[in-house]
Structure formats: structure tokens, C-alpha cells
A and B are shown apart, each in its own frame.
Chain A
């Protein structure tokens, strides 16, 4: 158990939490941490080289999502991009004296970057509707339509869920938003690199991408802001990013995101189909070998890399630790909520009882996941689940 002395296999199945940076990405960014140290806003040649690299990366990110380069704003990551979209569009309180109370529509299964931003809006006098999802984890666009009010200023719905991978009907929601002339923001952090992304086809006005989920390092992300969208900055400073996000550009991180976006676009089809077949094999084998196991989000369209399985009567926390000690890294849900007492809001929203939510585990595959690794996990998980069930006070009671 000493994280075995006998060179234990380590299998990383938590790519929805973060991904290893691709070697090409690291190679491309490194010069910008050493000799290419210019400030992209400087006039001289040092600055010009940095500027060129930033703008090339902008084109690459734009290409990943089907946007124009000028519509991409670099941020420190997905959370900042989500916050910029929300606070950049929604005036707090009544806006102007005598103004109306604004209204925002989101869903019950958003990432905390959106949910907690919306909760802050509520404390500041903005109404928020949290649209429910089906037991498969999908929003009904008609629920969104019904939630619309004259004072609705923003709809924000994630593309793919981080915990269960379910894909939301963004195109249909976009039509509804367009008819009502309401801005639509989409958190695409978990779909980038896994599903085709095209802002025109999706019909969104704003879209969030995070670097470290697509093999760039942590600390960089981007927000697509469609041309003509009047977005207020949430920071104040210099005139960077067309006055939408001040602060000296994180050149190395932005370069990395550019290369990662290019890789994601080039590898999308191959990665998606390879991950889907490995994921399906993992899922079917675990369901065959383990009784009382259910896939959360089953029946809904899902990202090809994510499998969230409920193993009834076990404690997810103990399962994650046990599996890690045997070399398999996975999680009980969002990395930000690991260690939290409350059961996952996503699993609760799809109707799971708290104890079933706590007995659910997320496996998320990535570009680097191999068939051998999946076989290793298939070999390890059933024994560990069985051991936990033998010791579970709940299991014996039933």
C-alpha cells in the first residue's frame, strides 16, 4: 500500500479536472518565459514579437470555436471568463434609479463559476431562475422559454456538464434566446476538444473556454464575445484586449492556449471516437462486473470521455482513496467540490438521493488515455467496490 514499491501503474482518469499539458504546448510556450519576454503592448521589437504570438494564438482559439479573432478575449481561465460574461452583461441591482429588476436564466447543473456568480447577482437584487434538468441531465428548451420575462437580460447554459458529461441543447435554446432578443452565454469548458464547437451554429453570443482542460497549462482561458455585444469589463486598468480585459497579457499562457486549441481542432475527431470507445468499454465492463451500478446521465447525449457511475451503497470518498492507493485517479465530482459535505448539486438535480449522489464516481478520459490503462482500471475497480460494500453499514441493512 506504500503506493507500491513495485513500480505501480498510475492511471489518470480525471481529465475533466485537468489535463497534462501537451509536449508541443510546453515547447511552444517556453521561449516566452525566457528569451521572448517582451510586453505585447510595447512598441519595440521585443514587444512586437510578443504581440505577434498573442495574435496568432487568438486566431487559433477563434478557429477552434468558429469565431473571428477580434471576438476572442483572453482571461485567466474558465472561471474568469464565466464571470466576465455574467457581470459584463448584467447590471447589478436596479441599474438606474427607478429601473426594473433584471432577470437571468441559468440551469441547476452549471459549474460553480456560473452558479455562485448567479447567487451573488441575487444578493445584489437581480432575479435568477435555475431551470431544472431531466433525470438524464438535460435541460428542456421549453423550460427556458417559459422562464423568460420582459426583464430577462441573459441566459447562461453550459454546453457539456463537467460531472456527468451530458450535452445541452444549445442550438434550440439559442433560437429561443434570439427570438426574445436575449443574450446567450455558454460555458463550453468541458466540450472544447471533445465536441465540435461553432459559435455560429450553436447561436451563442458568448462562450467560455479553459486552457487546462484542453492540454494547455492552468491560468489561461478565453471568452468569445460576438461582435457588437456590449460587454462591460470587470477589471479596470490599461486598454488591453480591446478594453474588455485589462492587464498585461499572459503571453506564455496565451501562446500555450493557441497551440492547445490547434491540437484540439486537429485531433478532435480521432480523439473523440477513440475516447468514446474506451469509455464505452470501461462503462460496459464495470456494469457487467459490478451489481447495482448505474450510469448517471445515461440515455442523454454525452461527451465522449466522461463516465459517471453510481455504485450503490458505497462511500465515494473511500472509493476514490482506495483506487488512488491502487493507482487509479478519478473523482467523486467536480474537483472544486471534492471534500465537500454536500452531495453534488448536479447529481441531486438529476434526482439522485443524497446517499446515491455520494456513492457516485466520475471517470474522465483524455488524449493520453490508453487501452491498457482502461483494462487496468477494469481490473481494479470491481474488487475495491466489493471490499467497500462488505464494510458498508448501509449495504448489510438492505
Chain B
């Protein structure tokens, strides 16, 4: 190391939660020059009717969380700022989220936010203020493969916390600049570190909901948002039919449903029924039994490759089709410019358009895309 070596500044994306606070605390303790940034993403006063019963808070960009992030920065003594990305967030996350539901698909807003806000706009801001790298509290690991020369994304050591599924869209450039210090730690260890560093958020509970839907009721959010936008688009009720075409009830608007859903269908058939298909053209909800929900193939588009530059020939992978899904053995093969056909070795339950299919080879992510 050169005698005058000046360590590079790193920006830490701080949500006010335990994970990103520990990242900031750890890096600061190691002597890295850091700047904390909290993104203001959504104005919770916009749809006050959706605030839910609890106080408007404990979500990713509530005033309370900004305050918590600021307290951590003060506690450690590094510079901290709030940056406002509300417009970017609405354009690239919220509006597509609503549009996807209206189109009968089930979106993954966290991935959109990672792709278009956190590792795009925030990374750009980080670079603009003099930092070449961006550290976040994600549970995942990055390593440079010296053979392929590619940055690889790996599952977190703590399988129960692994967030690699939400990060499949990162480009090589983004991975080269991202730092995930929690990838080798368990949630227990992270809490322990928070206590050891006396971070003011050490005992803060975790948030689970989608950050801009404080009540957790996304259908109410969609309706509120459409009304606020003055969009003429309204969810209309329609028929619930079986695969044989028998009309057995009425649905409350297709955005209320997701593939595989059983509760809240409002039909009594004497046997468990599940949503099989959301037909927005005919405004029909197709339901059936569990066996009809199984399928062994799907097409995935807008694929992003991480461990490989492109898919040359069919490949054996473990494919994960939603965050809580246990990855299943599959063969992937090219099906177009940036599309892939996935053939599962065993049928999988509820392949859901709009969700991401992410392909693993052991710990490594090969790539992933969006289920058509």
C-alpha cells in the first residue's frame, strides 16, 4: 500500500433499520470514510386513508426511520444526508407495481427498487458526492471470479435471511460497486453487533411489508392510488369460472388476486379452490383445484445474466420462482433474445406471471428474469 494511500469513501444506504445501521457502524469502526444516505421514496401523507391503524411509521421512509438513521450517524459521527427520490421511485416502482396488478400479474417491487432506484439513482448520487462504492444491508455476497472475470452474486450464509433473489437484476457494473457486508453474518450476529456498538436501533423490530403500503393492504393501495391519479381506470367485478367454463361466482376486481390464492375467492364449492389464471381480457378469474395449479414449464423474459455472459446451451439449475419458494431443479434453455424457457424436473405449484424466476448453481446466481 502506498504511504499516502487514502481510503476510498463508501456511501452506506441507510433505511433506519438494524441491518443497514450495522453496516454503517461496522464500516465506520473499520476506519472506512463513509457517508450515510437515506432515500426519501414515498410521501406517506399522500394516501392518508391507507395509513392503517398503527402510527404512520416503521416503514422504510417514514419520518421515524429517517430520524433513526440520523441518530445512528450522530452516534458514530459520520456525515449523513437524506436524498429525495420520490419521483424516480414513483415512476419506476409504484406505477409499474399498480400496472402489473391491473394486468393480472403479481409484481416484485423490491427488485424494481434495487434495479432502478437503489443501485441506479442512489449509486449515481454516491458517485457524484465522491464515493465509488455503495454499501447496503442486503444479505447476499459478491465475489469476483478470476477465471470468468465476472462479478458473481452468491446467497447469504444465513439461508433464512438470504435476499439474493431480489438482487438478480444487478449488472456487472452495479455489482462491481456494491458492497454487502452482512452476507457472511446471521441475523443473530447482526443484532449482537448492533448491541455491542450501542446502536440506537439495536432493538428495533423488523419491517416486513412493502415499504409504500403501510397497511399491508395492497389492493386498497392500488384503488387509492388510481383515485388519486384521477385515472378513469377502475377495477370492475367479473365472473369467477372453473377450467370447464362453469361460472361459480363473482370477483371483486382482478387486482385482488394472485395465482395460487385460496382465501377470499368468495365462492363456496365444497372443495378447496385456487386461482389458476387471471384473464384481464375477459375480466375473468379462472379457479380450480390444487392439481390444476401445478405446471412444469414457464417462459421468462428480460433475463439478466450474472455468472455467465449469455446462455449458449441448455443448463441444469435450481430455479426459484418466488422469494419464499424452495429452489427446484430445472433445465433452462434459450427462447429468444433475452428470454429463457424453464423446464422443471418436477411440477411446481403456482408459477406466477410478474414474479421473478432466479437460477442458482449451488450458492451462485446464474441469472434471472421475469415470468411471463
Contact = CB atoms under 8 A, between A and B. Distances in A.
A317 B35 contact: no
A325 B129 CA distance: 8
A20 B128 CA distance: 30
Contacts of B82: 339
Interface in B64-103: 78-79, 81-84, 86-87
A273 interface: no
Nearest to B87: A341
- Max count, chain B CB within 10 A of own CB: residue among A321, A324, A339: A321
Contacts of A339: 40, 82, 84
Contact of A317 (B78, B79, B83): B83
Contacts of A392: 128
A3 interface: yes
Given A339-B40, A339-B82, A1 B124 contact: no
B200 interface: no
Contacts of A393: 124
A126 B3 CA distance: 70
B128 A315 contact: yes
A340 B35 CA distance: 21
A368 interface: no
Contacts of A341: 84, 86-87
A387 B87 contact: no
A305 interface: no
A318 B35 contact: no
B306 interface: no
B79 A387 contact: no
A325 B128 CA distance: 12
A19 interface: no
A317 B84 contact: yes
Contacts of B87: 341
Interface in B109-137: 124-125, 127-131
B33 interface: yes
A398 interface: no
A321 B153 CA distance: 31
B128 A387 contact: yes
B229 to A, nearest CB: 16
Nearest to A5: B33
Interface string A1-41: 11100000000000000000000000000000000000000
Nearest to A326: B130
A293 interface: no
B172 interface: no
B283 interface: no
Nearest to B31: A2
B9 interface: yes
A340 B86 CA distance: 9
A318 B126 CA distance: 9
A295 interface: no
B128 A3 contact: no
A1 B84 contact: no
Contacts of B34: 2
B128 A340 contact: no
A393 to B, nearest CB: 8
A322 interface: yes
A262 to B, nearest CB: 37
A339 B129 CA distance: 16
A390 B79 CA distance: 24
Interface in A333-361: 339-341
B129 A322 contact: yes
A391 B84 contact: no
B84 A321 contact: no
B72 to A, nearest CB: 16
A325 B124 CA distance: 17
Interface string A307-330: 000000001011001101100000
Interface in B235-257: none
Given A1-B9, A1-B33, A1-B35, A321 B40 contact: no
A115 interface: no
A3 B78 CA distance: 8
Contacts of A315: 125, 128
B9 A321 contact: no
- Max count, chain B CB within 10 A of own CB: residue among A1, A321, A388: A1
B128 A391 contact: yes
B79 A3 contact: yes
B84 A340 contact: yes
Given A1-B35, A1-B131, A2-B78, A321 B124 contact: no
Contacts of B83: 317-318, 321
Contact of B130 (A3, A317, A322, A340): A322
B129 A321 contact: yes
Nearest to B131: A1
B220 to A, nearest CB: 24
A388 B128 contact: yes
A387 B130 CA distance: 8
Interface string B26-51: 00000001110000100000000000
A119 to B, nearest CB: 16
A1 B83 CA distance: 18
Nearest to A340: B84
Contacts of B131: 1
A259 B101 CA distance: 62
Given A1-B33, A2-B78, A341-B87, A322 B128 contact: yes
A265 B209 CA distance: 57
Contact of A325 (B40, B125, B127, B130): B130
Contacts of B79: 1-3, 324-325
- Max count, chain A CB within 10 A of own CB: residue among B35, B87, B128: B128
Contacts of A388: 128
Contacts of B127: 391
Contacts of B40: 339
Nearest to B66: A339
A339 B127 CA distance: 19
Contacts of B129: 318, 321-322, 325
Contacts of A3: 78-79
Given A321-B81, A391-B124, 15 more contacts: A1-B79, A2-B34, A3-B78, A317-B83, A317-B84, A318-B83, A321-B129, A324-B79, A325-B79, A325-B129, A339-B84, A340-B84, A341-B86, A341-B87, A388-B128
30 contacts: A1-B35, A2-B33, A2-B34, A315-B125, A315-B128, A317-B83, A317-B84, A318-B125, A318-B128, A318-B129, A321-B81, A321-B83, A322-B128, A322-B129, A324-B79, A325-B35, A325-B79, A325-B130, A339-B82, A339-B84, A341-B84, A341-B86, A341-B87, A387-B128, A387-B130, A388-B128, A391-B124, A391-B127, A391-B128, A392-B128
